[in-house]
Amino acid sequence: MFSRQFLIVCGLAAAALSLGAWSQSASAASRDKAFFQSVSGAWRGPGEIVAGKYKGTKFTCNLTGQPVAGDNAGVKLDGTCRVGVFQQPMSAEITQQGGTYKGKFLDGAAGKGLDVTSGTVNDNTVVIGLNRQKLNGAMIARVQDNKSMNITISVKVEEQMIPVIGLTLTRQNVDEMAVGSIQ
């Protein structure tokens, strides 16, 4: 089961922090950049595949996002996702290119990952378009507050979007994380 399917699932989970956005004006660009900065940092949380062949599979991701350098909006992501004893490194980079965002998770759709094809940022919600060969989908990430984010990833089946993955991330404060204990 720890295979290409898991890589795709983890890539989709990584998408939660690699948020694409559509920029149409200077104020939108500023808003988008502020959004990416607000989701920077370390995030951790459980997820579950809720439809399809691997329905019921639970996983946990540890992800760290940083805004891309320079004037453009975007994010760079590194971390891992784990199913049982299997752990998969995750990486992504989303960067503003002209009036839109482009990017890839892992090595992109040409390899074992995904491509970001479009996106919008509105208030505390981001919706991005995802593509992998014949698979088209979308991810909706809602930032509930400064410490939590909920993600739903859906795929297009015929003319309908079907939710397949749910993920809840909690911001990790480095000062509060337990490094170890000695009794």
pLDDT in single tens digits along all 183 residues of the chain: 444 444 454 455 444 444 333 334 556 667 778 877 888 899 999 999 999 999 999 999 999 988 888 777 778 889 999 999 999 998 888 777 777 778 888 888 999 888 998 877 787 887 888 999 888 998 888 888 889 999 899 999 998 999 999 999 999 975 544 444 444
pLDDT at residue number 164: 94
pLDDT at residue number 174: 56
Chain position carrying tokens 């950049």 = 33
SS3 82: strand
Return the half-sphere exposure (C-beta side, CA atoms, 13 A cut-off) of residue 89.
4
Segment holding 73, helix H or strand E:
none
State pTM to two decimals. 0.76
